[in-house]
Chains A and B, each alone.
Chain A
Amino acid sequence: MNNTTNMCSRCVMDSTAKEISFDDNGECNFCKHYDTVEKSEVFSDKAGQEKLDLLVSEIKKKGKNKKYDVLIGLSGGVDSSYVAYLLKKKYNLRALAVHLDNGWNTELAVANVEEVIKRLDIDLITNVLDWEEFRDIQSSFLKSSISNIEIPTDHAIWATLLKTAGKHGISYVVAGNNVVTEAIMPESWLYGSKDSKLIRSIHKKFGKIKMKTYPYLTTFDFFKFLILRNIRWVPILNYIPFVKEEAKQLLIDELGWRDYGGKHYENIFTRFFHAYYLPEKFGYDLRKCYLSALVCSGQMNREEAIKELESPPASKKVLNEDKDYVMKKLGLTNDEFDSIISNLNKEYTDFPNNESLWQKFDWFVKIARKRITRVG
């Protein structure tokens, strides 16, 4: 980064995020947002424990005549693996796991999923995306020049979870999303994984084949699953003291889980997105967000975070390997790839999306958001 970048005096967010503003003490709006969210969504104390216990008994009651109590998403990463462990070992809930295979899994991620389901004896459903079609969607996002090229994957995970819950009559989706490592994220960096209109409009503009099997959720689907069918999202990690390093160690000791280094690095495309695409094309380094959340939650001190940011997000060797792999797998030529990186950066607002619709129905978005952030 250049010398004119201003960094927050408390966390490690800086002016590479265009939304940043500082108060008189040099503390940024992201820290303040963190504090607010922590207050309203994190209950890691006794009160949280009570809430969760109450919810667990409610879940058990509701699942009584069903095969499964809860549905979980399992990527093979720390957060979701830890959720699986907690549900089985601590709360004795019968979980069904869903894994989305978008074609970019690392071997390690697959091995972790296998260890988790075998050692915890959890049934697994996989949704393997149609590769020809998904490749076309991913390539479209690269060609669109917007920052969040992971939208197609993130949205497919959402869609697969809600649709599977609906199909199997499961009322609770327990997820690994959490405040203490994820609450800081500038909207301009990662907008819109819920927005299927954006996905379809970008794919329509840049894609070559028809979208036939890609799992997506329309606004009505969100309404159907979250309101009509009352499927609840349980961000369980916000209701316990979630310390990332401890969770990781427990998984290694108890489940033979293996570390892949770096948040979300269990997937090759995601690693390319974090370590190559965003830094090269946009100058964004998502580690700043994750590390800032850890700093604000007290799990890491600021000096450690700054030190970690001094080294690149991945080694040159890995970066080059990933770049070659992505080009080959998506079928892009060197020239096409170079122009993707050098094209003028775009924003999601440059393409048709659901934002104005959702602004009109903000009461619904509020209820929906509440259902995915809060227990009970």
Chain B
Amino acid sequence: MPIGYGGGVSKLDHIRKLFKLGVDKVIINSAAILDSDLIKKASEIYGNQSIIVSLDVKKDIWGQYKLYSHSNNKKIKLDLFQFIKKIESLGAGEIIVNSVDNDGVMNGYDTNLIDLVAESVKVPVIALGGAGSIKDFKSAVIHGASAVAAGSLFVYQGIHRGVLISYIKSELLMKEILKK
């Protein structure tokens, strides 16, 4: 299974080290906003299949999607969709779209956001933030995601959010996929 690593990747040297350790893909978040040149250089050296850009998106009070940076806890004054197109052209091979509003809530992905992002780029879009059941996976894919990502779903159980690392059974996944 390919391994992607994200968290603190901000220099070309980090990326080199990660690939040397055996990681298949690196995930870049804040650094893609601060230093878009990094995406360009990294994808030129390692190929864009191995460079994933992850973006945290949060709605502002008018309901507009805004890029959000966790490293300095504020919204970024860049047009989200222009920025996504830019990093695609710079060489990002995949884009993870994380809905900050839905993240951890386990009530489903922001499918509207997935629609908009998937329409604006050609590279694969990975949906993140909000998955609470297998059903949510399916709906993200219907809305244009090429892959789905989840955290809480694999960790929390039930109304008290009991911590129990669990795995989705492939039979259940197949059943949901085949369901009309």
Contacts and interface: CB of A to CB of B under 8 A. Distances in A.
A117 B158 contact: yes
A53 B47 CA distance: 69
A114 B163 contact: no
A123 B158 CA distance: 6
Going nearest first, the 9 A-B pairs with the smallest beta carbon separation are A124-B162, A126-B162, A126-B163, A125-B160, A114-B166, A128-B163, A124-B157, A123-B158, A125-B162
A143 to B, nearest CB: 29
B164 interface: yes
Nearest to A107: B165
Nearest to A127: B163
A123 B159 contact: yes
Contacts of B158: 117, 123-124
A76 to B, nearest CB: 10
B46 to A, nearest CB: 32
B127 to A, nearest CB: 25
B176 to A, nearest CB: 16
Q: Which range holds the interface residue count of chain A?
A: 10 to 19
B160 A99 contact: no
Contacts of B157: 114, 117, 124, 126
Interface of A: 96-97, 99, 101, 110-111, 113-114, 117, 123-126, 128
Interface string B151-180: 000000111101111100000000000000
Interface of B: 157-160, 162-166
A110 B164 contact: yes
A113 B162 CA distance: 11
Contact of A99 (B159, B164, B166): B164
Contacts, number: 33
B159 to A, nearest CB: 6
A72 B163 CA distance: 16
A99 B158 CA distance: 13
A110 B160 contact: no
11 contacts: A96-B160, A97-B162, A99-B162, A117-B157, A117-B164, A123-B160, A126-B157, A126-B162, A126-B163, A126-B164, A128-B163
A113 B159 contact: no
A97 B162 CA distance: 10
Given A117-B157, A124-B157, A110 B162 contact: no
B160 A124 contact: yes
A110 B159 contact: no
A250 to B, nearest CB: 22
A114 B164 contact: yes
B134 to A, nearest CB: 14
Given A99-B164, A110-B165, 7 more contacts: A96-B160, A111-B166, A114-B157, A117-B162, A123-B159, A124-B158, A125-B160
A113 B165 CA distance: 10
B163 A101 contact: yes
A32 B45 CA distance: 77
B1 to A, nearest CB: 17
Contacts of A110: 164-166
A174 to B, nearest CB: 18
A117 B166 CA distance: 12
Contacts of A126: 157, 162-164
A111 B162 CA distance: 13
Nearest to B166: A114
A134 to B, nearest CB: 15
Contacts of A111: 166
Contacts of A117: 157-158, 162, 164
Contacts of A101: 163
A97 B163 CA distance: 12
A344 to B, nearest CB: 39
A118 to B, nearest CB: 8
A196 B100 CA distance: 42
Contacts of A123: 158-160, 162
A124 B30 CA distance: 36
Pick the most buried of A101, A110, A111, A126: most chain B CB atoms within 10 A of its CB: A126
Contacts of B164: 99, 110, 113-114, 117, 124, 126
Nearest to B159: A123
